[in-house]
Amino acid sequence: MTSSLNLWLIPTLPLAGAAINGIFGKKSSRTAVSTVGLFFSGAAFAWALSVVLRISAADMPYQEYIAHWIRSGSFSADFALYLDQLSLIMLMVVTGVGFLIHIYSVGYMWDDPSYYRFFAYLNLFMFFMLTLILANNYLLMFIGWEGVGLASYLLIGFWFTKDSAAAAGKKAFIVNRIGDFGFLIALFLIIQNYHSLNFTQVFDQVRPLAPETAGAGLLTAIGILLMVGACGKSAQIPLYVWLPDAMEGPTPVSALIHAATMVTAGVYMVSRSHVIFERAPSALMVVAVIGTLTALFAATIGIAQTDIKKVLAYSTVSQLGYMFMACGVGAFSAGVFHLMTHAFFKGLLFLAAGSVIHAVGGEQDMRKMGGLRSYIPWTFMTMGIATLAIAGIWPFAGFWSKDEILWKAYSSEHGSWVFWLIGVITAFITSFYMFRLLFMTFFGDYHGANVDEHGRGSHGHDGHGHGEPHESPMVMLVPLMILALLSLFGGLVGYHNGFEHFLEPVFGSGATAEAAGEAANSGTEWLLMGISVLVAFSGAGLAWLLYISKPYLPQKIADGLGSFYQAVVNKYYVDELYAKLFVKPLIDGSTTILWQGIDRKVIDDTVNNAADGARHVSDEVRHMQSGNLRSYAGWIAAGSAVVIAYMIWLGVR
Amino acid sequence: MVPLSYYLVLSGFLFACGVTGFLIKRNIITIFMSIELMLNGVNLSFVAFAAHWHALAGQIFVFFVMVVAAAESAVGLAIIIAVYRTRETLNVDQVNLLKL
């Protein structure tokens, strides 16, 4: 055991920042708010770095006990932290990318009237996310899980005066509750059967069990319910609908919460519970199928979107699908690898998109952009790198992780060529819509109006009202460049399975056994790798053909496809379907039965009738109190007479 | 010797007179006197019982009642004078400021 690492500092620092900014921020200057916000998130990052430097593989998993929380009989859940290779990676991603996005936000949010509130929320989010990652039991993890949901709600609805933003925040929160319901039931099942929520204790009991091959069992149930939770948080079918709407939030929020970190919490949770999933093949199958379908489904929607952030949102859903596909075929390290590279390049894509939106004065419609390459060269370059990365072109980060997933989907014992094929198709579509985005935004002619009428209400951006699109300030560009470097080289840690070996202590040595098989299969692996790169290039090529070389074609194709195209543009009418199936019956039922029926007819009427009755009776009775002294005396005399008569009657009887 | 029941009937008659006067009269002083009548009706039954049972307690009670009644008349008459000074009437039906 090493001396104490003081892990508790990592989540606590951002919490302190949130408290300071939240309490004193309103009266402080912007500089003071940014200093506090950056200092505390930066300090968390620095401390995480120092932890990485001080800890050695032999010391992991490292546990740190902070305070005791719930002790009930033999059950206990404490404020205690757990650090292994998996949480270490998450820790670096969250603090690192989080810190960069904090820096970026200084530039992006500078003109917002609620500047301090933004940083308070952002720091609060960091606190909960780090709690989620570092928890050593499911309950503390659940606290973080709910906390990030709260922070997400607050930040999506950050511009709460706008109806759509407030509604999007609510939608995200409510849809997540559905997932959390599954998560909670899974936790109850775990408590009931293993009498603990502590990761080590639960997994020690599960590990000796044999896989539940014959259909469903306890572990399968737990696994599927956990996956329901992950579906909510990580926006998988059928609960993905909140993520695209979440783009109502400020762009740094979309980058940090809805691309890089929070939405990957589901992947983290599934990976953390890999001991359970590995013993429940049916649950794994569910994960893989959901992931694969989501990847393909969301990618197809992404093709037809015109809002730059919506494209990225569907792309995020799709990439998360990849991660679940990896987890579902038992390749947890590949999933986490993609999680990490995705945090880099998707964070970068969102930040760059934010920079574009900033440049054109709040416009998000790509049809009104174009030709921005020469106006905002740095944004263009960084976004180009990110696009190459997400498309999976060698040697960018996305290539390594996506290729790893596709290979595992094909070769793993839980995998199959179907997953691989859908994955490759999705990769093609991904490459296509990402290059479409790039071409529509940066190439061709500028279609936007001049940026004089800045702000346009939609983005709270006012100020800098000069005519042409303009490059963002350095404070926004530097994070872009750092993330671009990470998107360029971040994948190299996966070279020669380095990443997988790093995670071996967590996910077990399935990898070594596979290494032997891999040698034999290396020919296949090279072939598949070649195919995926080829697919990436052809997607890019198709985008080039449609949006650069023959820009009249897309409209023709759209017309040719007719109603199918309309369905895609309208996101397959899923929102409408949900509104019909769930939202409307719920609202109607609440209105007619609960509100008009029970609340008004039963509860209100009971109270009102009781009051009315009391008034009517009193109306009659009050005549007794006439204020006439002699009538009172009369009542007394009459009463006495009755009492006396009664006594006499008693005596006579 | 006069039987006990005679005293009790007289006592009940006095009390009933008091009650009736209290109920039907409007003049405060008359009402006041009716109260005294009721008290004395009760006093009579006290002494009658005391004599009948040869128990002293009944007579002691009568003294107490008389003392209290004297004090009560002092206070009551003072109030009646105060009422007459402010309201210029002794009719209870017109002393109705507290009525709604």
pLDDT for position B82: 93
pLDDT for position B100: 59
Read off φ and ψ for residue A65, nearest 5 degrees: -95, 125
Minimum distance, in Å, between the CA of residue A649 and any CA atom of chain B: 19
Round the average pLDDT of chain A to a whole number and report it: 87
**pLDDT tens sequence across A95-139:** 999 999 999 999 898 888 889 999 999 999 999 999 999 999 999
**pLDDT tens sequence across A235-268:** 998 899 999 999 988 999 999 988 889 999 999 9
Check B23 against A634: CB less than 8 A apart: yes
pLDDT for position A549: 83
pLDDT average, residue stretch A340-355: 92
CB atoms near residue A623 (< 10 Å): 8
pLDDT for position A306: 87
Check B22 against A633: CB less than 8 A apart: yes
pLDDT for position A458: 42
pLDDT band of residue A181 (cuts 50, 70, 90) is very high
Residue A108's contacts (CB-CB under 8 Å, 6 or more residues apart) are: A250, A251, A252, A354, A358, A472, A476
Q: Count the alpha carbons within 13 Å of A322 in the hemisphere toward its beta carbon.
A: 34
Look up the ipTM and state it.
Answer: 0.75
pLDDT for position B85: 93
In this structure, of A37-41, A346-350, A554-558, the range with the lowest mean pLDDT score is A554-558
pLDDT for position A214: 64
pLDDT average, residue stretch A315-330: 92
**pLDDT tens sequence across B12-43:** 999 999 999 988 888 989 999 999 999 999 99
Q: CB of B24 within 8 Å of any CB in chain A? A: yes
- Classify A449 as helix, strand or coil: coil
pLDDT for position A292: 93
Question: Which residue among A627, A633, A634 places its CB closest to the CB of B99?
Answer: A627
Q: A235-274: buried (b, 16+ CB within 10 Å) or exposed (e) per residue?
A: bbbbbbbbbbbbbbbbbbbbbbbbbbbbbbbbbbbbbbbb
pLDDT average, residue stretch A225-236: 92
Residue A289's contacts (CB-CB under 8 Å, 6 or more residues apart) are: A328
pLDDT for position A455: 41
pLDDT band of residue A519 (cuts 50, 70, 90) is low
**pLDDT tens sequence across B51-100:** 999 999 999 999 999 999 999 999 999 999 999 999 888 888 888 777 65
Minimum distance, in Å, between the CA of residue B66 and any CA atom of chain A: 22
In this structure, of A220-224, A333-337, A583-587, B89-93, the range with the lowest mean pLDDT score is B89-93
Minimum distance, in Å, between the CA of residue B97 and any CA atom of chain A: 9
Check A637 against B100: CB less than 8 A apart: no
